[in-house]
A and B are shown apart, each in its own frame.
Chain A
Amino acid sequence: MSTVKLTVNGKSVSATVEDRTLLVHLLRENLNLTGTHVGCDTSQCGACIVHIDGKAVKSCTTLVGQIDGANVTTIEGIAKGDQLHPMQAAFRDNHGLQCGYCTPGMIMSAIDIVNRHASDLDEETVRHELEGNICRCTGYHNIVKSVLDAAGRMKVAQAAE
């Protein structure tokens, strides 16, 4: 067992867990943050993606013990109160989701993609970058559309800040 201190969605969290505990299980089982999902056992599907210190990481492949002191943001932590994150709003407006299961991972991954590609984001780049996120419902068409739409909205939001 080890004790780990984290900041999760802006709140300090201290957890004493088995050494084998994965971040996704800490989030889901201990912290009741069930928006982060598990869709595979091989780190392929990306339903579990969260941000660790601002970067998209698969929480199913991250031991809690590896990230002592880290700042973790999950799908539950990106809206500001009732104001959706531009990526969330873009997914809704462009019908970028159907069953919703891959959606949290898609959104967390997509925010990271937009953050890393300030000016050179095009359809091909989005499709390539989403390689680690599997969706079975949408055929990706409207997900790609959502990400490109959100990239514009995020720029506007950043300019306003």
Chain B
Amino acid sequence: MGVEGIGARVARKEDKRFITGRGRYVDDVKVIGLTHAHFIRSPHAHAKVKGIDASAAKDMPGVVDVLTAQQLVDDKIGNLICGWAVSSKDGTPMKMGAWPAMAPDTVRFVGQAVAVVIAETKNQAKDAAEAVVVEYEELPAVSSMTTALAKSAPQLHPEAPGNVVYDWAIGDEKQTNDAFSKAANVVSLDLTNNRLVPNAMEPRAAVAEYDEAEEHFTLHTTSQNPHVARLVLSAFYNVAQEHKLRVIAPDVGGGFGSKIFIYPEEMVALWASKKVRRPVKWTGDRTEAFLTDAHGRDHMSHAEMAFDANNRILGLRVKTHANFGAYMSLFSSSVPTYLYATLLSGQYNIPTIYAEVMGVYTNTTPVDAYRGAGRPEASYLVERLMETSARQLKVDPAELRRINFVTQFPHQTPVIMAYDIGDFGASLDAALKAIDYSGFPARKAKAKAAGKLRGLGFSCYIEACGIAPSKAVGSLGAGVGLWESAEVRVNPVGTIEVLTGSHSHGQGHETTFAQLVAGRLGISVDQVQIVHGDTDKVQFGMGTYGSRSAAVGMSAIFKAMEKVEAKAKKIAAHLLEASEGDIVIENGEFKVAGTDKAIALPMVALAAYTAHNLPDGMEPGLKEGAFYDPTNFTFPAGAYICEVEIDPGTGKTDIVDFVAVDDFGRLINPMIVEGQVHGGLAQGIGQAMLESAVYDDNGQPVTASFMDYAMPRADDVPSFRVSHTTTLCPGNPLGVKGCGEAGAIGSSPAVINAITDALGHNKIEMPATPGRVWEALQLRQAAE
């Protein structure tokens, strides 16, 4: 490996443009003749649209057109789809309510669009929107799952009686019930996993252009997966044909899952660009992000764990209600099922599990994958239950975990997943050492003397990443394959372009992917350019989510590199008059092993393109592609320990220490890996202590701006102590597992376990705000 190869802390190649203000995000794109779109959105959570009068608006200055939902219907534009089929336990398919990009007759959540104004400037579009009169007939709305499931509840979709999406189950019910009947102890817990708003700092945006002569569309959009966007826009929404649509996702300012989905606004902008024969730009504002970006989490669960007399787990029984919001978003069906219940075994030997999940419609913003997607909900449930069990069974929480850890691999859980490798004890040991666990009682006593309550909480999480073998996810209902593609182009001068179907929106692929190539050839990362995010350049790709870019995306590059190197070695051997098997690659040269004969990469590349002297029958050029489909999920896992101090006078909780020990397999760039963990930890701490999307009883969002929704700020989070243990993933050629989501998956339970430890009881829900902590303290005092 060169100094900039795998494992090196290489500074990011992409940073220069971001720190100098030269990043190019969608809203920065300008084209000649650009118009601006502003959507007219429902102020009601549930209403009939009785009529739209845009006549006055059309006469306003600068207005190009006002387009309504009915025109979408007339143009036969398809409804939004959910791309993962999940059936109820009785075998009936999920109940998908029709979701048009703009609502022609019924709106089902505040913020759903009914029309769009296109004008010369953004302000003119906004002004004209004020003059569009929409007549609504309000209908009763349901904002919580409890009210949505009540017998007399208003019904959202004719397709979904009782507002139920599906009633799904996994595992063996009878076997699990039997285990509980034999249990020495049963510990139960009711949990709410609060609804979150992803809030990538760059709001979603789209710039759509239509070339009439070529009948060709170009869409710049804030996407984590531009090829999937193109596929969905063409195959399902009928807006443009796939070969007549170029989708570009340039610099994208964060995603966290929310930019996987193909939303109404992008679709309408594309359609409108042909309608008005002008390019159309739409850039969401923050309130639109709160109203229309897919939200995350929002579960209510009852969980029970059965133990034998030796504190070994006998079984787990879970009943979860998952709020879908008003419609089924693109991958919503998979999140509370195959991405959640399949991780309920945690890091533990659990002989039998039975989990039921009921999906519920409410008059709220649709819910889908948000950083972790199902896995944070699973780890929160399992790790809260383990900590609660330790307290009830009067066992040390580290010890209870340790005696139940999976230690033999591969390990088949009762809920589909087969863990390939791990060393859960090693992560826990490292975390205990880092936090100085044995010193905690003294720290607690010292805090008490100072009038503070100190608590310590664990979380030993596991997740499934690198989503996943196409065949496996296909058998579970996924509508797409989840491989990745790569193409490695060696230019005639020896510089290299790598085209990848992965998409970077903060992850640093331009550096880490270059490190892989540079390390193999012994050249500088500056010689390697990573190309991504453009369907005209990259042939196809599945995009970036589920911490899959290293395990799947880089593995595809690895495969393509093997092919490139094999051909280059043949050429080098021919030019050096040596045997192909004797050629080794070192420091950018092809050498005959054990001799001083060598030829530099640029000379080999040039020979490939001049083609004057190639081995007989060899095609000119040096360019290879590969598609990589993994053989299994990967299983990052780790141990997090959080230590908090509560001020009983105010309920304010400070995180005084946070230790994260993760096993991500091989690290490509430890600096970037640590950054991914830091960001995930802040999001998990945000969920645990600050963030919550709140609706009133009528379905009005109460938290639709940064004034009302508490985003973690710099002084809400501590500096983190992050380290690693390593078991190499056997499922891919690089031994990597994925690190993008772990922080968000593992941290929330550690924080709440620490707070409940300090409180001395379990009666607190996320977010544990100072007000809630203070109330919980009053409960304790009342009990005393």
Contact A84 B714, beta carbon cutoff 8 Å: no
Tell yes or no: A44 within 8 A of B by CB: yes
Q: In the complex, which residues of chain A have a beta carbon less than 8 angstroms from the beta carbon of B707?
A: 42, 44
Tell yes or no: A23 within 8 A of B by CB: no
Contact B714 A144, beta carbon cutoff 8 Å: yes
Contact B719 A141, beta carbon cutoff 8 Å: yes
Contact B711 A136, beta carbon cutoff 8 Å: yes
Known interface pairs A99-B506, A134-B706. Does A139 touch B679 (Cβ–Cβ under 8 Å)? yes
Contact A142 B21, beta carbon cutoff 8 Å: no
A45 to B253, CA, bound (A): 14
Q: In the complex, which residues of chain B have a beta carbon less than 8 angstroms from the beta carbon of A123?
A: 719
CB distance from A17 to the nearest CB of B (A): 11
A-B contact count (CB 8 A): 180
Interface size class of A (residues with CB under 8 A): 35 or more
Contact B286 A39, beta carbon cutoff 8 Å: yes
Interchain CB contact (< 8 A) of B285 among A28, A34, A41, A95: A41
Tell yes or no: A103 within 8 A of B by CB: yes
A40 to B679, CA, bound (A): 20
Contact B201 A134, beta carbon cutoff 8 Å: yes
Interchain CB contact (< 8 A) of A130 among B252, B254, B682, B713: B713
Tell yes or no: B739 within 8 A of A by CB: no
A47 to B674, CA, bound (A): 24
Contact B705 A40, beta carbon cutoff 8 Å: yes
Contact B201 A47, beta carbon cutoff 8 Å: yes
Q: In the complex, which residues of chain A have a beta carbon less than 8 angstroms from the beta carbon of B251?
A: 99-100
Chain A residue nearest to B203 (CB atoms) is A39
A128 to B506, CA, bound (A): 25
Contact B12 A92, beta carbon cutoff 8 Å: yes
Tell yes or no: A65 within 8 A of B by CB: no
Q: In the complex, which residues of chain A have a beta carbon less than 8 angstroms from the beta carbon of B200?
A: 99, 101, 136
Known interface pairs A41-B286, A101-B254, A102-B201. Does A139 touch B717 (Cβ–Cβ under 8 Å)? yes
A98 to B255, CA, bound (A): 11
Known interface pairs A107-B19, A134-B711, A136-B683. Does A99 touch B253 (Cβ–Cβ under 8 Å)? yes
Contact A91 B675, beta carbon cutoff 8 Å: no
Q: In the complex, which residues of chain B have a beta carbon less than 8 angstroms from the beta carbon of A59?
A: none
Contact B253 A139, beta carbon cutoff 8 Å: no
Known interface pairs A34-B28, A41-B287, A130-B714. Does A88 touch B19 (Cβ–Cβ under 8 Å)? yes
CB distance from B638 to the nearest CB of A (A): 16
Q: In the complex, which residues of chain B have a beta carbon less than 8 angstroms from the beta carbon of A142?
A: 674-675, 678
Mark A111-149 against chain B: 1 for CB-CB distance below 8 A, else 0.
000000000000110111011011111111111100000
28 contacts between A and B (CB under 8 A): A28-B28, A35-B21, A37-B201, A39-B203, A44-B706, A44-B707, A45-B286, A79-B20, A93-B11, A95-B12, A95-B671, A99-B253, A100-B14, A103-B18, A103-B19, A123-B719, A126-B714, A128-B715, A131-B713, A133-B713, A133-B714, A136-B711, A137-B506, A139-B678, A139-B717, A140-B682, A140-B713, A141-B720
Interface residues of B (CB under 8 A from A): 11-12, 14-25, 27-28, 30, 123, 199-203, 251-254, 256, 285-287, 505-508, 671-672, 674-675, 678-683, 705-707, 711-715, 717, 719-720, 743
Q: Beyond A99-B201, A102-B201, list 11 extra A-B contacts (CB 8 Å).
A: A84-B20, A98-B254, A127-B715, A128-B714, A130-B713, A131-B713, A134-B706, A138-B675, A138-B682, A140-B678, A140-B717
